[in-house]
Amino acid sequence: MDCFAVPGSGLLPLDDALAVIREGVRPVAGAETVALHDALGRFLAEDVTAGVNVPPMAVSSMDGWAFRAPADGSPDEPRRLAVVGRVPAGTVFAGTVGPGEAVRIFTGAPLPDGADTVAMQEECEAGDGTVLVPPLERGSNVRAAGEDMRAGAVVLAEGRRLRAQEVGLAAAVGRSTLRVRRRLRVALFSTGDELREPGGGKPDGAIFDANRYTLAAQLLALGVELRDLGILPDQPDAVRAALAAAADEADLIVSSGGMSVGEEDHVKAAVSALGSLHLWRLALRPGKPLALGQVGQTPFLGLPGNPVSAMVTFMLVGRPLVLRLSGGESVVPRSLVVAGFSFTKKPGRREFLRARLETGPDGRPVARKFPNNSSGVLTSMAESDGLIDMAADATEIRAGDLVDFLPFTGLLG
């Protein structure tokens, strides 16, 4: 079934394009078990359930003295207690703490029997086998058993992408391995007789192939297994053979260039002959022309040829597609920042402006738009920190307005 067909021939809103991907694309099959050290960036293929309470017992949350709070409530003045022992982390106090007694305790150490409160060492006065503790409510500075995670609870759901904190959480509940989805296999190529590989010679009229390296970096940041097909010659048979071979080995095929409506292009003809191709005209700037289709049963993504358009459309459309196929979902962090510029546009297309952030006089971040809006100026991406999202029906941004900002840190990886 062709999941990329969309009705009508007008400009397609970005949100509608993302809905097509979200509703029509399913994760690829296959999973493997990996060690925790190899799990970073992978997508869970199972729910992770806590096998133990974390912490496993009541523990002290700081260095200090553990004692039993008065049965009739907290005192309104300090109390002097007899010190009857010492409990470093990793040990258990053998006795019981009675009324009027205290035990020296360290962060993470199990709370002794009879004790229910910990006074932090900076607030106590110790000497001659006693300690003066301040008035505290019962349970102060104590982490209860299972306070973080309860045994039997699902602590990580299937489909979760594993960051450092998720890897640590899995370790905290005793897991040494995790069942994850296999890495998405992506075939990437460029076409065009004008393209040359960086590092070699370049005759007049030729350009170095930057898009393939930009896209490869974006794909690798998403944890894919990349197969770089290089630059394909402008020969129909060669393009068709390369696409057919890639479809047999890859879960997704990505290319850039030759996607403008009405342009003669061997990639379009080859994809259509081997499967299906839909030219999307997105209500978007930069990056209106986009192609989505299938080579056999393998999804195909054709990005614009201009370097900024290729990079931005991959961030906005390609990244959600890759994450969906990988078993995850795309969530892009946003923030409101102050516009340090003025800008006008015609209504009808959603526009993403390149901008860098500075700290304003009041400490709030201020966005400075890159002066050149051309989709061919790759330096604009290197000199920017993210994109300002300007709605399709908006026509003006004035200096001092609050604008929607998407940081590159949330769009790359």
Which candidate, 371, 329, 331, places its Cα nearest to that of 353?
371
Record the pTM.
Answer: 0.86
For residue 339, what pLDDT is reported?
Answer: 97
Delimit the domains of the chain by residue range. 14-30+182-326, 34-54+148-181, 59-143, 335-411
* H/E run at residue 236: helix 236-249
For residue 251, what pLDDT is reported?
Answer: 97
Q: What is the pLDDT along the chain (413 residues), one digit of tens a residue?
A: 477 877 666 789 999 999 999 988 999 989 999 999 999 999 999 999 999 999 999 999 999 999 999 877 666 789 999 999 999 999 999 999 999 999 999 999 999 999 999 999 999 999 889 999 999 999 999 999 999 999 999 999 999 999 999 999 999 999 999 999 999 999 999 887 788 888 888 888 888 889 999 999 999 999 999 999 998 888 888 889 999 999 999 999 999 876 555 455 688 888 989 999 888 889 999 988 889 999 999 999 999 889 999 999 999 999 999 999 999 888 888 999 999 999 999 999 999 999 999 999 999 999 999 999 898 899 999 999 999 999 999 999 999 999 999 999 999 88
**Cβ distance 278 to 293 under 8 Å?**
yes
Residue 60: phi, psi to the nearest 5? -75, 140
Kind of pairing between the strands at 275-281 and 284-285: unpaired
CATH no. of 335-411: 2.40.340.10
Which CATH architecture describes the domain 34-54+148-181? Alpha-Beta Complex (3.90)
Integer CA distances (angstroms), 30 to 12, 27, 113, 326, in order: 33, 9, 49, 10
Integer CA distances (angstroms), 325 to 186, 246, 276, in order: 11, 17, 18
Which CATH architecture describes the domain 14-30+182-326? 3-Layer(aba) Sandwich (3.40)
For residue 278, what pLDDT is reported?
Answer: 87
For residue 1, what pLDDT is reported?
Answer: 47
3-state SS class at 343: strand
Integer CA distances (angstroms), 135 to 75, 80, 138, 157, 248, in order: 5, 11, 10, 43, 72
- Alpha carbons 294 and 289: distance in angstroms, whole number: 17
**One CATH from 2.170.190.11, 1.10.150.20, 3.40.190.80, 3.40.50.1240 for 59-143:** 2.170.190.11
For residue 259, what pLDDT is reported?
Answer: 58
Give strand pairing partners of 396: 344
